[in-house]
Every structure is written in C-alpha cells, then in structure tokens.
Structure 1
Amino acid sequence: MTGFTEAAAEGGHPAGVNLWGKRDDMVVHERDPFNAEPPRTALAGRATTPTGTFYSRNHGPVPDIDPSEWRLRVDGLVERPLELSLEELRTGFEEVETVVTLQCAGNRRAGLNEVRDIPGEAPWGPGATATARFAGVRLADVLARAGLRPRAAHIAFTAPDVSRLADPPQPYGGSVPVGKALGPEVLLARAMNGAPLPRVHGAPVRVVVPGWIGARSVKWLTRVTARSEPSENYFQAVAYRVPPADADPGGAGAADGVSLGPLAVNCDILDPDDGARLPAGPTGVTGYALAGEERTVARVEVSPDGGRSWVRADLDEPAGPWAWQHWRTTLDLPAGEAEVAARAWDSAGAVTPESPALLWNPKGYANNSWARVRLTCR
C-alpha cells in the first residue's frame, strides 16, 4: 500500500498536525476528497479508536457548515414535516451515547486487488474500520415526532457534499429500511469520543447506523425523508452494490447487483504488522472480530502455518452490542517465513471464507476472507 501523509501533502504543517487533526502516519489514498486510514497496528489493543486515528472516507469535498445556520428537514411520508435547528435537536430529544464500530465497505480491498486489479478504486487496507463513542439523539424519536405514514418503508438521508463520482455530480445520500431506522441504536450524532463531532467526521450532525456498512452512516446530514422505496441517490441505487464478477462496474445499475447493508462477519490481524521481522519463539498475535447487525462473534481461530493448523483465540468483551471484539493468542513460531491467518464465526454460524478469490467483485467491496500476515522470524 502506498500513500503520503496529509501533513506532507498540505505543506507547512509540522509532523502530526494537519488540516483534519489526523496522526501523521495515516495512509492517505486521496487528498481531495480526503480518504485515509491508519496503519493496522494503531488499532491494536484499543476498545475505542482515538478520533485522530479513526479512518476517513469521503466522496466529495468536506463541507464547512455553520452550526448556527444548520437545519435538519424531516419530510416525505410523514404527518408533520419538521425543520430543526441544532439547539432544537439538542434540547428537544433525549440524548444517548452508543459505542459503535464503523467499517467501510471497501475495507481490505487491497486483498481483492491481489486477486485481480480493481481500477479506479482506492486500495484500502485493514484500517478502514474503527470504533468510537457516538452521542446524539435517536433517529426513531425524531421520526416519531414527525409521525410516519403507513406507506413509509425506507428512510433516506441527504448531505450537501457533492461528489464527482456520480454522473451527473450530486450530493451524497442513501437510505435504510424503516425497520432499521427505528432501531434504538440508530443515532443522529453530534459528538464523538466525548467531544463535538469533528468537521471531517460529519459536523454538525451525522447519522450512525450500527451494524451496517459505513456508507449508510451519512455525514453532514441536512435532510431525512420517509419514502415508500429506497433512495434513488447514486450511492444507494448504483454504488455500494456487489455486481456480478463479469459486470462493467462503470455501467452497473440498480438491478445489476446486491445492495450492501448489514456487515458480514469479519476479522483481521492488527499486530504484528504484515511483513514484520520478529524473533522466533512465542509471539503474541492480536486483532479484532466484528459481526454485523444484531449478530455476535462466536469464535476466532488463528493459524501459525497458513491454515494447516489452528488454535482458538481469547476474545475480549465488547464495549457494547454494536462494537468489535479484540482477540489475542500466543503462537510458537519457528525461524523462517511464516504466514499467520485468522478466521471468525458469528452467532448465526457464518464463517469468514478462506480465499478472497471467492469474493472478488469489480468494485472491491466486502472482503471478509481470512486475515493473513506474512512474517519473517529469526
């Protein structure tokens, strides 16, 4: 994976200080829109991820919204359309806090790139996943005040960040089924890790949809619309779908693939890093596992020899029902080259597949194949 630090890209910023407050060793896939992830080892051993380490996935320039002028419109198939200021949102509804793991649908795309090239898509590594404490109000409470009509089946979100990826360019958006939107875990978040939501993470208000791909947690939210059908926005109807392997990703349409929603069970190795050189002998290996929607992680196994033999890892307790679980084990690695692999099961019995070749798709989404790192032991 190649990249450059945002500090270097912006020029004139001292190491570790940059426009978006991110650590100076972030792998930056794009500067504008800003897309960056931390090295995998920066995520190890932390139940929650520092905001400066949290990955950033954007589809257009980061908006600069004046909180005093921000308004949230709630419209569509509702009895009482609303227009709420930030103060009205803050004082008019119960505030809650939830620990949530967000994961980009393109997380671990680099592994699919090794199977077959995916032109035009950033080669995200394992760092496009992270966990934070988000605080705000329940979307369900806001929808209850607006009064959903019986025909409302989907809740659409609209943001002001215009993306050139769509043809023609359009603001970012998406939707979730009304059943998910009414879940008490879905937030209109104003804070992250005990501080006001940073601009690059969606200030003043973003949606947080736990258990679903990060693309549905729309940032810089300005409009919530109750609809009978899913959003027609490009990022719902065309992007973030898994088309057949032989489809042209540039021409894929709404009927050409499966729309991504709930996350599949996934895990990865966070420490040691891929390509590390280590002393032979007992070696601690740590990572994370995550099950989407309301499923939980049932088991994680780790192999010292590329999958020929396995040991069961110890699982930490999650920080909440919508958060990842870290795992750990010790492997006795002999001198020479070693391939360490990890796989996970969820509470529904689903298991991460062995090979990324089984998952390759022309957009590079949803790689949850076995995690692997290659080590040299001396």
Structure 2
Amino acid sequence: MHTISRRLVQKISVPIFRTSTHATKLISTQNQHRYEDKDPETKLFGKLLIGAASAGLLATYFDEKKKVDCKVAQTSGTFKDGLPEYTIEEVSKHNTQESRIWVTYKEGVYDITDFVPGHPGGDQILMAAGSSVEPFWVLYGIHENQHVYDILEKYRIGNLDKHDAQTFTQNMEDPYSSDPKRHPVLKPASVKPFNAEPPPSLLVENFITPKELFYVRNHLPVPNIDAEQYKLEIEIEGAKKTVSLSLDDLKKMPKKTITATIMCAGNRRSEMVKVKTVKGLNWGPAAVANATWTGVPLRDVLKNAGLDQFDDKYKHVQFEAEDVDATGKNYGASIPIWKAIDERGDVLLAYEMNGAPLPRDHGYPVRVIVPGVVGARNVKWLAKIVISEHESTSHWQQNDYKGFSPCTDWEDADFTKSPAIQELPVTSAICKPYDGDTIDVVDGKILIKGYAWSGGGQKIVRVDVSADGGKTWHVANVDAQDSSEPPRHWSWTLWSANIPVDNKSKTVGFADIMVKAVDSCYNTQPENFEHIWNIRGVLGNAYHKIKVNLKQ
C-alpha cells in the first residue's frame, strides 16, 4: 500500500529530515515559550510558518490574511542580486538555535530562528530546520498566499545555490495530485487538504445523504490504496503475534449494516468565530451527514484476534490510518475499549457506504465507524488496530479535538488536562431558509426546515423553533427519524416547522429565527456561543440563529 504522501516523504527524506535528532532535542523546551515581544503580524506568521499539525490549525490565518490587501506580485523565493549564495549542505548545518535555524524556499535562504521558540504547532515545528519549507507548504497549501510570502521575505539572508535549487525543484511533486474528483456543489473550507461541505439546503432533501454530497474532512492527502494488496494489522500489546487480515478476510466474516450520522467537531464553527477568533476550518452547519454503513463489527474482529483471552488492563483501542504527514507519521485516534467491545456500541470496520464500496474520500477500502462519536475517531483508510492500556499518542488525539473553557487562550492551554472529544453534544441547525434570505409569507406563516442530532446514541425527542427571537416557541414536526431506540439511536432527525410570523407591514419585514433540540436524556443546547467559545472552535452547539426578510 503506497500513498502519494509516502512517496513524497521518501523523496525529501534526505536532506530535509536528517536533522530530526536536533529538532527533537529542541522541542521539549521550546514549546513552553510564546511570541510575547513580537508585533501582531509576526505573531500570526510565527504560529503558522511551518509544520502545522493539521490544516485546521491554519484556517485562522487564512481568514486573517483576507484582511490584507496583497497588491505586490509574488516574488518570494526568487533569486536576488547582491545576496550571498549557500549550498543545501551549508544550510543543513543551521538546524539548532545555537547554529541559527535556516530554511529555504525556492531560491531563497531564510533565518527563522526568532520564529521557532514557542511555536504552538507541536513536535512538527522543526521539520524544515536546515532544509526546505516547500514540501510542507505543498502539504499544507494554505501557506501559499501573498501575505505569507511577504513576511517570509523579511527574513531573507541569501540565495540557494542554483544547482541545488534546480535539483530540489525537479524532485518535488504535489502530494495532492492523485486526490479524487469531487462534486462541484461541495463548498471547500480548504483545498489542500480538501475539506468541503454541501449547501445546507441539500442536507434536508434526503434522510440518507448521497455519498457525493457527504461532507469531506481530510487532514492529509488521500491515500491511493490497492484493495487486493490491502492488509489490516491487529496488535494486542504484550501478545507475541500480530493478526493480519485482507479485505477478503473481512468480507468473509458475518457483516452488519447500521445507519449512522457523522459530524465534524468543528461543525458550525463559522458562528463561533463571530464571538472571537479561533483556530480551525470555517465550517458552516453542513459538516454533518447521514449514511448506511456495512462492514464487520469490531468486537467480532477483536475476539477473533484473541482479545477475550486477556484481562481488563486494556482501556483503549487505537486506530492508525494510511494517510501520513510529511514526517511519515500516520493519522491516528483511539476510543475507549468499552465502546469497541460492547455489542450495543455498534462499532464497525466498514467497507461499504450506502450499499456501495467506500469512496476514496470516505476511507476506501476500510474505515472505522464509531456511531455517536465525533468524526475524528471514525478513522478512514484503516491500516492498524492496537489494543492498549493507553490512548493513541497521535497529535489528533493528544493535541487537537479537545474542548476548553472560554477563559482559556493558547498561552495557557494545557492539552494534557483536557479529555479527547468522544461523544458529541446535542445540536440542531436551520437548513432552509439561509441567513439573509427573503422568503414568502403564506397565510401568515413561514416554512423552516433543518436537522437535529445528539451523540452517544441519544434520540431527538423535540425540536423547538422560534420566529421572534425566542419570545414564543413552536414544536417542529419530525419529517424523518430512525426507529432505533437509545442508546443505539445513531441517526439524525430531519424536521420542519410552519410557524406564524408578525408581518404588520404587509410588504417586507423580518424574522429572527432560532432553533434548539432536546434529546432523550433531556439535554438541550446552550443559548449563546459566547458561553461555549473555545480556542479550537469545537463543540459548537448553541442555538442556531438566522435572520430573514419576509415578503407578503
């Protein structure tokens, strides 16, 4: 099984990663510092320069850079007369604070030492130390914009030897070049990696979301996997052997089909950023979808691997994916073992979506479906399962997808004290009409449609809708809902409400519409995003509010 990103890693591993030992020595001390003495522009760029752990962490920069008028042509990295030339060998010697940290971009050489201390991107901060940032800027394409180029040029110290620059350029390839084609209706939140959602109005057209319209959440390039060569490794810590299963092996086991909704932790983040800036992709309300999934129950696979022969010291099931970052680290996540082995947990190793093989964007040939749990744990392109005493050590388990108090900022965030998100809270959204639309008033009423969902297998028991800013409420009709009962109700609920409005002008007025859902544990949504704001913009489940114009 090969991926585009793995081939890239092989091509750039020398000399780019030969300084990894130096990088490791610096990481533990440098992560504790911040850019306290820098100007705002430098602070922003310093946080986003290289090695960001996921494209989501770069989205804030993408939003901020829109505010900058970039009229200057892109000249970063081009040869500049009057500057000294350095070979890649000379650059590679500058990979620690003591020797100064240099990087290259195209024909340019830059001293970024002042950016390195306290970079919040985790242990990937020094990936480019002593070599080129290009592979990482290709991998995390959001860097490639004029504002970043302009700031980088402030740290220009020379030119790269022309022969070295030409050789490196010839060895570069776009890790996203083999990504699959997507339906043009999907609205990208980022292109490289590809993350996109459909128009919200399409979500309420079908209880089962067509796979072409299912939102796409990728952290890295999409692996190109040969199903005939596919092997899934299953390891139990302390056991002497590792079980290896092919796709055919999995398909020979008794299969099961469930209907389950998957939601991104950042769904509706675009509403939270109106309170205060966060780091994450600017998702609307459509980073959620519902599908049927067919595969093998994980508990059966683990039993066949010999899990039932071991005691209860194992607390977690770790999943490792085929997609890898520029350092060769695989995407990974984990779930509590009780969820994996409980028959009521319904965790699947799925190889079909809506009755057909998984699309590449959604995990072909095998992915994990963990119903009721945040999308980040529903690992796609599954390569390995580890039964362990510990959580996954992956960045996405340890340093991302965690919630914090509204009073916590990046300067004092301690990811070790915040649990990884698993089950998601109850939420709902209005999908028709859109915010700002002008809609018809028919017989004094307006029609509103949307979805509601709650994690942990809880069922939506009521959806309340208001058209006057919460002064009066109306109970919505349930248009589509799974018949399964808690704690195994994994699907969303589609609802509609035909509610009265006060349109005294008889021409054009407006309505402040809001919605809140209630689940089978009588959990409901908080009223305002101000109360649940957090630095990563996750768990955004406040009342969904829109304002529309009314036409008689």
What's the TM-score once normalised by structure 2's chain length?
0.62
Matched, 1:262 2:435: no
Q: For the residues of structure 2 that align with 1:63 and 1:253, how far apart are their CA atoms?
A: 32
Deviation at 1:75, TM superposition (A): 0.2
1:233 aligns with 2:394: yes
1:308 alignment partner in structure 2: 471
2:293 paired residue number: 134
> Hey, what's the Cα distance between the residues in 2 that align with 1:212 and 1:179?
13
| Deviation sequence 1:247-279 (CA, Å, 0-9, x none) | 444884542423211010111111112221112
More helix by percentage: 2
Match of 1:101 among 237, 256, 261: 261
Further displaced range: 358-367 or 37-46: 37-46
**1:341 aligned counterpart, secondary structure:** strand
Larger Cα Rg: Structure 1 or Structure 2?
2
1:20: how far off? 3.8
Cα offsets for 1:85-125 (capped at 9, x unmatched): 1111111x111111110000000000100110114x21100
Give the one of 338, 346, 351 matched to 1:179: 338
Counterpart of 1:9 in structure 2 is none
On the 8 A contact 2:406/2:532 being kept in 1, the answer is no
Alpha carbon RMSD of aligned pairs, Å?
2.1
Q: Which has the higher contact order (CA 8 A, sep 6+)?
A: 1
Aligned-partner residue type, residue 237 of structure 2: L
The structural deviation recorded for 1:169 is 6.6
- 2:236 corresponds in structure 1 to 76
C-alpha distance in structure 2 between counterparts of 1:54 and 1:48, whole Å: 10
CA distance in 1: counterparts of 2:287 and 2:440, whole angstroms:
29
* Residue type at the aligned position of 1:328: S
Q: CA deviation at 1:326?
A: 0.8
Following TM superposition, by how much is the alpha carbon of 1:357 offset from its aligned partner in structure 2, in angstroms? 0.7
Structure 1's 110 and 228: CA in aligned 2 closer, same or farther, altered over 3 A?
same
Give 5+ residue unaligned stretches, structure 2.
1-58, 64-177
Distance in 2 (CA, whole Å) between partners of 1:183 and 1:26 is 36
Q: Give me the whole-angstrom Cα distance separating, in 2, the residues matched to 1:196 and 1:180.
A: 25
Shift in Å, 1:78: 7.0
Counterpart contact for 1:140–1:183, Cα < 8 Å? yes
User: 2:382 is paired with a residue of what secondary structure?
Assistant: coil
Q: How far apart, CA to CA, are the structure 2 residues paired with 1:76 and 1:170?
A: 21
In the TM superposition, 1:161-240 aligns within 5 A as 161-163=323-325, 170-184=329-343, 185-240=346-401
For the 8 Å contact 1:208–1:218, the answer to whether it is kept is: yes
Partner SS for 1:116: coil
- Give the letter for the 2:450 counterpart: G
Partner-residue secondary structure (3-state), 2:376: helix
- For residue 294 of structure 1, report the CA deviation from its aligned partner: 2.4
**What's the counterpart of residue 535 of structure 2?**
362
Helix, strand or coil for the counterpart of 1:316? strand
State how far apart, in whole Å, the 1-side matches of 2:412 and 2:304 are.
Answer: 40
Partner residue in 2 for 1:112:
272
- C-alpha displacement at 1:350, in angstroms? 1.1
* AA aligned opposite 1:327: W
Determine the C-alpha separation between the residues in 2 that align with 1:49 and 1:357: 31
Q: 1:7-86 residue pairs with structure 2 within 5 A?
A: 20-77=180-237, 81-86=242-247
> Structure 1 unaligned runs (5+)?
4-17
Is the CA contact 2:179–2:222 (under 8 Å) kept in the aligned structure 1? no
1:152-163 matches, within 5 Å, as 152-163=314-325
What is the deviation of 1:70? 1.0
- The structure with the greater share of residues assigned to strand is 1
Structure-2 residue corresponding to 1:292: 455
Instruction: Flag the 1:370–1:169 CA change in 2: closer, same or farther, 3 A.
Output: farther
